Amino acid sequence: MLIRTHTCGQLRESDVGKSVRLNGWVNSYRDHGNLIFIDLRDRYGLTQVVFDKESGLSAGAMDAADKLRNEDVIACEGMVRVRVGGENPKLATGKIEIVVDKLEVLAKTDNPPFLPDDLSKLPNEELRLTHRYIDLRRPSMQRILSTRHKVYQTTRRYFDENGFLEVETPILYKSTPEGAREFLVPNRHVPGSFYALPQSPQLFKQILMVAGCDRYMQICRCFRDEDPRADRQAEFTQIDLEMSFVRREQVMEAMEGFVRRLWKEIAGHDVPPMRRMSYREAMEDYGIDRPDTRYDLKTRDISAFAGKMDFAIFKNALEKGKDRPAFNSRKGVVKALRVPGGAEKLTRKITDGYTEFVKTFGAGGVAVVKVVKGEDGQPRLDTGIAKFLEPLKGEFLALLGCEVGDTVLFVADVYSVATKAIGELRQRVARDMGMVPRSGAEGGPWNFLWVVDFPMFERNKDTGKWVAMHHPFTSPNDDQMQAFLDANEEDEVTIEGIVSAGYDVVLNGQEIAGGSVRIHDRAVQSKVFKLLGMTPDQAKEKFSFLLEALAYGAPPHAGVAFGLDRLVMNFVGTDNIRDVIAFPKTQTGADLMTRAPSPVPEGQLRDVHIKSIAPPA
C-alpha cells in the first residue's frame, strides 16, 4: 500500500516539487476523459489530485481513475505542483495539486445512500443514524468530534492541575429506586436479582470522599430510562466532581474556574464573574429555575392588583389556596408579562396561539391587553377584558410601567401552574418578538449565571408528600442548618422555606451543571429521611452502604456534575443532542445502526433467569 506521507489538509505552496503520497476518500470527481480531477478527503481537509494521461500515467491507472466514484478509498503518489488551472480559494490546499503517477484503489464503495456533504441538504436523520459512519465523515461532524475531544482534554488537564483524582466507578450498580427509571441488568448467579445502570455516580463519589480521595473527577456515562428530548438522551455523559473539606463557596469557585478555562480554550471567550440569582427570584421574574437573561422580559405577580378587578377568571384563580402562604404551589396567583413593543409584532393570530400554548402546561388561557394610542393621544387599552380593566386603567399602567405599543399577557392559576406557564410563555414571546440573540457559537452572547438557594423540599403534586428537590443527600445551606434541625416536621411553612446548599450553572437559559453540599452529619441525614417519609429501616435498606460509610468518619464534602453533551452543544451551536454524540439513540432508545435493542435467544434468557412476557413479534 502507498502509505501516506501527508494528510489531505496539509500541503501548501511551500511543498511544491515534493513527491508525496496521500490516502483518503474520493470527495468528488471531475472527469474530462484524458484528464481527471479528484478531490481527495480525509478528516484534515481536501486536496485536488490530477490524473493526466500525458503526464506519464499508465493506461491501467487511467482506466482505474476513470472508474473512481464518490467515497471510494484510494492511495496515490505524485508530485506537488502549483495548480495549472488557477487557485481554488475555497480550499486551504487550493494553491496546489498532486499530479498522480501511481494509483492504488484501496476500497471500492457501493453506491452510498447519501454523500457526506455539508453543502447539500441533509438527508433524514433516520438515514444519517442508520449509516452513521457516512454521516460522521462530514466535515461538520468531524469538527464536532474534535470539539468534544478538546472538551475532554481541557477537562482532564484542568482538574489534574487542581489536584483532582480521576476514579472510575461501576457501571453495574445497585438499584436505588429514587428519581429516574433505571435500566436493569439481570444477574446470572442470583436468580431474580438485578444490577441497575447508574443514573449518576452520586453515592460512589460521596463514598470516595469518605475514602479520603479528597478531590475526585470522572467523565462518566449516566443512564436514565426516561423519554428523551432534543437536548436529552437516555445515555449521556457527565463531568462528575466531588471535593472534601469545602463549603459551597469553594466548590462554586472551582466550578467557575473550570468554566472560565473551558470557554477560554474551546471558544476563545473570557467568562466574566458569574452573577448569582436565588431560586425564588428566578421563579418570580422568569417563571423558570434556569432563566434566559439574554433578553429583558420579566414576569410579575400582580395578584394584589388583579384582586381588585371584577373579573371572574382572576377572582376564581385567586380564591384557590387563599389561606396558603406566599409562593405555596397551590396558592392562586395572577402573573403578568409586559412585552415592550408587543402591540405591533404580536398579532391577534400569534396571541390566539398563546392560549393553546399555555394549555399544554395546564393553564386555562392567556388574557391579552394591548396598550395603544387613543384618539385623545392618551394610552388606550385594546383588550377583551376592557370591561374589567378599564376602571383601573391608571393604576394598571403605572403598576407595570406600560407605554403605548406594549402588550401585556396574563395567566391566572395556582402558583406552580401559572408560574410555569408564564415562564414558558416568556420564552415563546421572546422568540416571536425576535429578542433571542444568536447562540454563543454563532457570535452571540454567553450568558452565565448561578442559581442558588433552592428549596430543600417540594410537595409531590400527586401524593402531597415531601420530596427532595435535588436529592436526599443535599445539605441545608449553612445559615439554615440550625433552623432545619429545630424545625417541627409538621410545620409546612418552615419546611418549605428551608433552603439547600445547592447550586446550578445556567447558560443562555440552559442548565449546564448542578450540584450541592452533601450532608455528612447523621442527625441531619436522619431528619431528611424522616421528612421524606422514610423510616430508619427503609433508609437503611436503600442506602445502607452510604449510611455506613458516613458513620465511619465522613469529611464535609460537596460536588457537582456538568452535562458534557450540553457543553459541546453550546460550543458547536446545535440544539440537537444527537449531533454531539457519535452513536446516539432515537426517541425510543433504538440504535438504528446496530439495531439495538434486539431479541436474544431463549437460552441466553434462561441463563439469567428471565422469561419474556412480550407477545411474539
Partner RNA sequence: GGGGCGGUAGCUCAAUUGGUUAGAGUACCGGACUGUCGAUCCGGUGGUUGCGGGUUCGAGUCCCGUCCGCCUCGCCA
Which of positions 410-449 make contact with RNA (CB under 7 A)? 420, 424
Q: How far is the C-alpha of 529 from the C-alpha of 493, rounded, in Å?
A: 18
**Residue 358 binds RNA, judged by CB under 7 A:** no
Among 215, 224, 338, 557, binds RNA (CB under 7 A): 224
Q: How many residues bind RNA (CB under 7 A)?
A: 73
Among 10, 15, 37, 444, binds RNA (CB under 7 A): 37
Neighbours of 407 (CB within 10 A): 26
Q: How far is the C-alpha of 299 from the C-alpha of 423, rounded, in Å?
A: 7
Quick one: which segment of 153-161, 219-227, 263-271, 601-609 binds RNA (CB under 7 A)?
219-227
**Residue 179 binds RNA, judged by CB under 7 A:** yes
Among 12, 69, 149, 373, binds RNA (CB under 7 A): 69
Q: How far is the C-alpha of 244 from the C-alpha of 263, rounded, in Å?
A: 26
The sign one gets for the Cα dihedral 525, 529, 535, 539 is negative
Among 32, 189, 349, 611, binds RNA (CB under 7 A): 32
Question: Min. distance of Cβ 46 from RNA in angstroms?
Answer: 9
β-strand pairing of 165-166 with 215-223: parallel
Q: Which of 448, 457, 478 is nearest to 248 (CA)?
A: 478
Quick one: which segment of 175-183, 259-267, 431-439, 596-604 binds RNA (CB under 7 A)?
175-183
**Residue 140 binds RNA, judged by CB under 7 A:** no
Quick one: which segment of 107-115, 156-164, 295-303, 344-352 binds RNA (CB under 7 A)?
107-115
**Residue 464 binds RNA, judged by CB under 7 A:** no
Give residues with Cβ within 8 angstroms of 149, minimum separation 6: none
Q: 98 or 408: whose CB is closer to RNA?
A: 98
Name the strands in the sheet holding 510-517, side by side, starting at the edge strand that comes first in the sequence. Answer: 165-166, 215-223, 235-244, 557-563, 510-517, 502-507, 448-452, 275-278
Question: Min. distance of Cβ 62 from RNA in angstroms?
Answer: 10
Cell numbers that stand for 97 in this block: 495539486
Among 9, 73, 79, 123, binds RNA (CB under 7 A): 123
**Residue 119 binds RNA, judged by CB under 7 A:** yes
Quick one: which segment of 85-93, 211-219, 430-438, 487-495 binds RNA (CB under 7 A)?
85-93
Place of cell 500541503: 11
**Residue 52 binds RNA, judged by CB under 7 A:** yes
Q: 55 or 378: whose CB is closer to RNA?
A: 55
Among 42, 97, 285, 496, binds RNA (CB under 7 A): 97
**β-bridge mates for residue 371, sequence order:** 381
Q: 229 or 322: whose CB is closer to RNA?
A: 229
| Beta-carbon-side half-sphere exposure of residue 384 (alpha carbons within 13 Å) | 10
**Residue 308 binds RNA, judged by CB under 7 A:** no
Distance separating the N- and C-terminal Cα atoms of the chain: 48
Question: Min. distance of Cβ 586 from RNA in angstroms?
Answer: 3
Q: How far is the C-alpha of 470 from the C-alpha of 220, rounded, in Å?
A: 20
Q: 340 or 589: whose CB is closer to RNA?
A: 589
Cell numbers that stand for 22 in this block: 496521500
DSSP 8-state assignment for residue 232: B
Cell numbers that stand for 556 in this block: 464535609
Among 9, 94, 139, 437, binds RNA (CB under 7 A): 94
Quick one: which segment of 183-191, 220-228, 250-258, 606-614 binds RNA (CB under 7 A)?
220-228
Question: Min. distance of Cβ 5 from RNA in angstroms?
Answer: 21
Contact call for residues 204 and 549 (beta carbons, < 8 A)? no
The sign one gets for the Cα dihedral 342, 343, 347, 351 is positive
Among 104, 125, 256, 265, binds RNA (CB under 7 A): 125
Q: 488 or 598: whose CB is closer to RNA?
A: 598
Among 16, 79, 91, 605, binds RNA (CB under 7 A): 91
**Residue 132 binds RNA, judged by CB under 7 A:** no
Quick one: which segment of 44-52, 247-255, 280-288, 605-613 binds RNA (CB under 7 A)?
44-52
Give 352-367 as a DSSP string: HHHHHHHHTTT----E
**Residue 229 binds RNA, judged by CB under 7 A:** yes
Contact call for residues 475 and 519 (beta carbons, < 8 A)? yes
**Residue 545 binds RNA, judged by CB under 7 A:** no
**Residue 111 binds RNA, judged by CB under 7 A:** yes
Contact call for residues 9 and 44 (beta carbons, < 8 A)? yes
Question: Min. distance of Cβ 29 from RNA in angstroms?
Answer: 7
**Residue 92 binds RNA, judged by CB under 7 A:** no
Among 23, 47, 70, 293, binds RNA (CB under 7 A): 70
Question: Min. distance of Cβ 260 from RNA in angstroms?
Answer: 23
Q: How far is the C-alpha of 552 from the C-alpha of 547, rounded, in Å?
A: 9
Quick one: which segment of 89-97, 165-173, 393-401, 486-494 binds RNA (CB under 7 A)?
89-97
- Measured at the alpha carbon of residue 324, what is the angle toward residues 322 and 329, in degrees to the nearest 5? 100
Contact call for residues 71 and 112 (beta carbons, < 8 A)? yes
**Residue 463 binds RNA, judged by CB under 7 A:** no
Q: 26 or 318: whose CB is closer to RNA?
A: 26
Q: How far is the C-alpha of 295 from the C-alpha of 337, rounded, in Å?
A: 13
Contact call for residues 147 and 140 (beta carbons, < 8 A)? no
Name the strands in the sheet holding 332-339, side by side, starting at the edge strand that comes first in the sequence. Answer: 299-301, 332-339, 407-414, 367-373, 379-383
Q: How far is the C-alpha of 190 from the C-alpha of 537, rounded, in Å?
A: 24
- Contact string 287-306 vs RNA (x = CB under 7 A): --x-----------------
Q: How far is the C-alpha of 146 from the C-alpha of 150, rounded, in Å?
A: 6
DSSP 8-state assignment for residue 443: T
**Residue 588 binds RNA, judged by CB under 7 A:** yes
**Residue 349 binds RNA, judged by CB under 7 A:** no
Quick one: which segment of 22-30, 324-332, 390-398, 429-437 binds RNA (CB under 7 A)?
22-30
**Residue 113 binds RNA, judged by CB under 7 A:** yes
Among 230, 551, 582, 600, binds RNA (CB under 7 A): 230
Size of the chain in residues: 617
